[in-house]
Amino acid sequence: MTAEFIAYSGFSALLLALGVARANESFASERERMVREQIEGRGIRNRDILRVMRATPRHLFVPKAFQALAYDDYPVPVGFGATISQPYIVAVMMELLEPSKQHRVLEIGTGSGYQAALLSQLVTCVYTIEIVPELAETAGKRLSDLGYSNVVVRQGDGYDGWSGQAPFDRIIITAAPPEIPKALIEQLKPGGRLVAPIGSGPMQQLVVLDKKPDGSLHRSFGPMVTFVPMRSVHN
**How many Å apart are CA 156 and CA 168, to the nearest integer?**
17
Catalytic residue among 12, 26, 85, 100: 85
Going from the C-alpha of 152 to that of each of 22, 31, 104, 115, 157, the distances in angstroms are 33, 26, 11, 13, 15
85 catalytic residue (yes or no): yes
CB 63 within 8 A of CB 78: yes
Q: Is 208 in contact with 194 (CB distance < 8 Å)?
A: yes
Handedness of CA 170, 181, 75, 131 (dihedral sign): positive
Strand partners, 173: 108
Instruction: List residues with catalytic annotation.
Output: 85
